[in-house]
Structure 1
Amino acid sequence: MLSRRPPFPRLVDGVALLYEDGGASAARGADFSDASLLTSPATPLAFAHASSRQTDMELATGEGFAFERKVRVRDAPAVRSARLALIGPDVFEVAYVDRDGGGYAYLFLDQLRSAGTVSLVADSGGCDDIGNPVGESRTPVHVRDTARAGAQAMDAARLGVARSVSVTLRERDYADERRFELGGRRYDVKSVRAANGWAVVTGERELA
């Protein structure tokens, strides 16, 4: 007797925890790659790995997102508002959701990695007797390591071999500061490019 095929695809590769936001990890300056900071309620969903196709690459290019993994889950209500996913110890951004119309959804996931921190420098708001601004505040924030580009930029800046450096920060962490410090060196912000909750901040090293 032939065995009957299951009526639904098997989701047996693991369980992903889906989050609407990161809870404590959403605080300014928090390490977005630290799973212990995901303190908001989570929805567990079984998943199956799905292979990436050329059309997926074209979709990512057209929609302006990047992804490392693609998984299939049941199209539950939590999928519609998911922003983060935890699989094992790794934190992923839910970059895109594609529903198949048959009760399943494909999650395109991009792992969040920190390349270390930079200090955003802002005037503290105080003034001297003649009205010149005095005092500064420094806020350490984490830099996203995107395809190792973040770590390479950080290393070059620490070694002092880069006059200009670009760092990717969460938009919520960047408050229009015009300077940042990295590796003991100060950079003037020359441009900011924001998209999908991230800001690429390019600075040029101040001359001594």
Structure 2
Amino acid sequence: MRIDEDLLPHILALREKFTKYKIKDVYQFTSAYTWRVYELLVQNKDIKKREFDLEEFKWKVGVTEKYSAIGDLKKRVIEPSVYEINKYSDIKVQYDQVKRGRRVTGFIFYITENQDTKTHQKKVRDKVERAFPPQPPKNPDFALRLREEFKVSPKQADQLARLWEGREAQAEKFLARIKRDHEAGTVKSLGGLTFKILRNEGQKEFLPGV
């Protein structure tokens, strides 16, 4: 497969941030705009939406000097990007225009998990979870701490407690880092970030390559 040279910086950037199965899902993007929009939106997958002022969006996508007409921006950048993201990636995107009066002043994107492009491994894991409902964690104090101190939802706290059972001391280094970032004001969603980091780190031992 030959990859357009314009796309290489985006592929390399994503390779630093995301796992191989996600790269496999999105390598079919054909436009550098799609890569840029995907990079912007996938960061907010857990928050499920992201809003941009018009000029901010154009600057981040790299079209500050182009597409002064909203119709052209949508036709050339947004709609093709949304189409490719929804068809090939791990997220599904919808968007609305933000208006002040009749003038478009920005865009808001809504982000959900793309059920149609789940990898085989994730489909298998989901099927197993449905077939064998999880039992209550054997370390309820750890789950309670995640709920009360780190604002993780009860269901997710139980999932993390089971995942880290017997390895709670190892989880502390990640919790300490999350707490520092939260106290520094750099964390938007404490519960969401805690769940994401502990889930990803906890799965590495049991699901190599995830």
Query: TM-score if structure 1 supplies the norm length?
Result: 0.26
- Structure number with higher relative contact order (C-alpha < 8 Å, ≥ 6 residues apart): 2
Flag the structure with higher strand content: 1
Query: TM-score if structure 2 supplies the norm length?
Result: 0.26
Higher Cα Rg, which structure: 1
Flag the structure with higher helix content: 2
